[in-house]
Amino acid sequence: MQNEYTEYAKVFKAFCDETRLMVLSLLQSGEKCACVLLEKVNVGQPTLSHHMKILVESGIVSARKEGKWTHYSLNESGCENAKELLELITNVSEDN
Amino acid sequence: MQNEYTEYAKVFKAFCDETRLMVLSLLQSGEKCACVLLEKVNVGQPTLSHHMKILVESGIVSARKEGKWTHYSLNESGCENAKELLELITNVSEDN
DNA sequence: AATACATATTGACAAATTTCAATATATAGT
DNA sequence: ACTATATATTGAAATTTGTCAATATGTATT
C-alpha cells in the first residue's frame, strides 16, 4: 500500500505499546526529564530513548533539551490531531 | 509488564495498521460484508479475516453473520470507548 | 583536559505481527 | 448428497517491532 492511512497509522502507533502508554500517562502531570521517566518505566535506557523517539516523531510528545537533560512533555496540538484522526476514522457518515 | 496499559494498547492496535484503517474507513458509510471489503482492500482473504478478528476483538467493529455472509459494522460504543481512552491518556491533569 | 553524567545511536537478537497458501467449516442451491 | 460459495483456521515465511549491550555524543564539573 502506502497511502494516507500509512501516515494515520504512524500516529496511532504511538499509543499501541504499553511502555509508551505509561510514559504518556506520566507526562500528563507535566514535563518530565528522561531520567525520571527511566526510573518509573521498566525498560533500559536505550529502549526508553527509542520509545521517546517514536513518541516525538508521531507528534504526540515534545522534547526540550536543556544542558545534559532532555525534558519531554505532551504536545497538545499533536494530541488534538490524534483525537481528530480518531474522530475522522470512526465517525459514521450521515448519508449512510 | 502486564497492567492496565496492556488492555489500552490492545484497543489502539486496532488503529495502527493501514489495512485496518482502510477497513474502518469503508465501514463509515455503513455495514459491509467481508466479500465487499475484500474487493477494496489489497490483501488476500485469510489476511482480511485476520484483520477483522482483531477489529472485532478490540471492540471497534461488530460482526453479524447471515447465511454465508459476515457483515461488519462500526461498533459505536467501542469507538466511543477508544475516544475516551485517548482522552484519558492525553489529557493534561489540572494540578500539573 | 580529564572525568562524570545524560541521552542517543548502532547492531544483534527475540518476540510479535502481517501475510499467504492450503485447508477446514458452514451455508445455500441443485 | 453434491457442488459452489463465503469465511475461518492453520502453519509457515517475511517483515516489523521491542529489547539490550556496547558504544558514541554532548554537556557540565573539577
Give the tens place of pLDDT for each residue, B8-67.
999 999 999 999 999 999 999 999 999 999 999 999 999 999 999 999 999 999 999 999
Q: What is the pTM of this model?
A: 0.93
Kindly identify which residue of chain A lies nearest to residue B78, measuring between CA atoms.
A90
Kindly identify which residue of chain A lies nearest to residue B42, measuring between CA atoms.
A1
Q: What is the dihedral of CA A86, A28, A32, A16, to 10 degrees?
A: -40
- The one-digit pLDDT tens for each residue of chain A (96 residues) are 558 899 999 999 999 999 999 999 999 999 999 999 999 999 999 999 999 999 999 999 999 999 999 999 999 999 999 999 999 999 999 776
Would the CB atoms of A82 and B90 count as touching at under 8 Å?
yes
d(C-alpha B83, C-alpha A50), whole Å: 26
Q: Which of B5, B13, B82 sits opposite A86 (nearest CB)?
A: B82
Would the CB atoms of A83 and B79 count as touching at under 8 Å?
no
For residues A58 and A51, the answer to whether their CB atoms sit within 8 Å is no
Which nucleotides of strand D come closer than 7 angstroms to any CB of the protein?
A: 5-11, 17-22, 26-28
Tell me the nearest-neighbour CA distance from B57 into chain A, angstroms: 15
The cell numbers describing B16, all together, are 495502527
Cβ-based burial of A59 (10 A; exposed 0-12, middle 13-18, buried ≥19): middle
Of A90, A88, A20, residue with least CA distance to B58 = A90
